[in-house]
Amino acid sequence: MGKARAGPVRWVIVDRVVFGRPVRGVAFDVLVCALVALVAVAAAANQPGGVAATLVGVLMVPALFFRRTRPVPVAVVVGGLALVQVAAGWGPLAYDVAVLIALYSVVKYADRLRDGVVAGVVAAVGVVLAAVQVPGPAPWWGSVLYFGLVTGAVWLVGLNVRTRRLYVLSLEERASTLEREREAEARAAVAEERTRIARELHDVVAHSMAVMIVQADGVRFTIDRDPDTARVAAKVVADTGRQALEEMRRLVGVLREPSRPEPVAVAGVTTGPEPAHRRPALVELPDLLDRFRAAGLAVTDSTSGESVSLPPGLELTVYRVVQESLTNALKHAGVGASVALHLDWSPTAVVVRVVDDGHGRPVVRLAPPGGHGLVGMRERVGVYDGSLVAGATPAGGWRVEARLPLPSVPEQEEAA
């Protein structure tokens, strides 16, 4: 039970913030300060300067607590106290490790490396002054060499850690920039797809209005001579008007721009939009499947349920979902992959299911990277209040399933 709860508790502690800093860093700095204070107090009885020297070491402790956020002021305070120690003639003491900690902090955390270089020069001068005051028969230059090696090693370690830290920060910034660019590209893809949908739906509505005008003129000319024909024409006008109003409702909120994406060919199959003023229909699905079969996909198609007549916009969406799914299968699964297309008709919805096995070979000429096929399909399906599910299959292929609700039947509306 203890092991099961250890993970969450550890993450809660690490994620907490104290004084605007992570609790782990604060705890480490407190430990460093405590060790320096302990060294200063423990050597009070034997070190030169006695209590006064211990007081100088204790005064260095509070400054070290801010070594991450204020490295330059901390180095100035610790260096000034070390200068007092040298001026008093006490020589190097144990708590002078605080000078090395301040030097390391300036090199690692200062905004400019120039501050670290200045701190290194000052530390070199301090090494010479401290070496002169070292008691004993050893020559002073030996002490200079020893202290210089230790100080130089600390400076180089700080420089190495600073370089790695800046490198990690640059990688994080680059990742953040790439994420923002991906979000911008996704938004641009959504806007582009909405423009394309708006143009196609506009064609659908324009077609419906043209049919209504023709049928209304027919009613006007035949109402006296052939009432039955006029009655049929009036019903066509009513049905077409209902569909046109539904399409107009879906047009609200869809932006329209003059740009139009260019067609893209993958392995000889044109996957982009058809020329302007051309609206594919479901009757053209066999031709679409034949083109992908000619490109190398082993496409099988099946249907369940009783198919019904769809509004032009919804019919176009079904066609586009099939086209984009087969395009993705050709690009990613490759030539020779087996793809199963199934249309499931029910009284309330039509379900388009496209599944490939992922066992093809890469095509010779791939489409340029950066496509947004899933984004476009999701946007199209969302216009008709449908749902789209896409993801990998356990066998290593890819599955796309779109569910599109069917519109209500005009006769049922009239009866209601």
Mean confidence (pLDDT) of the chain: 77
Residue found by looking up tokens 């019919």 in the block: 315
Q: What's at 145, amino acid-wise?
A: L
Residue 4: its H or E element: helix 2-15
CATH 3.40.50.720 at 265-415, yes or no: no
Tokens representing 362?
Answer: 């890469």
Q: Are strands 298-304 and 338-345 parallel, antiparallel or unpaired?
A: parallel
Is the CB of residue 91 less than 8 Å from the CB of residue 130? yes
Pair 192, 259: CB distance under 8 Å? yes
pLDDT in tens, 94-134: 788 888 888 888 888 888 888 888 888 888 888 888 777 77
In this structure, which topology does domain 191-251 adopt according to CATH? 1.20.5
Distance (Å, whole) CA 269 – CA 327: 8
* Residue-range domain boundaries for the chain: 2-135, 191-251, 265-415
pLDDT for position 210:
67
In whole angstroms, give the CA distance from residue 93 to residue 87. 13
DSSP code, position 138 = S
3-class DSSP state for residue 340?
A: strand
Q: Compute how many other C-beta atoms are within 10 angstroms of the C-beta atom of residue 247.
A: 21
pTM: 0.44
Q: How far apart are CA 147 and CA 127, in angstroms?
A: 6
58-102 pLDDT, tens digit per residue, is: 888 888 888 888 888 888 888 888 888 888 777 777 788 888 888
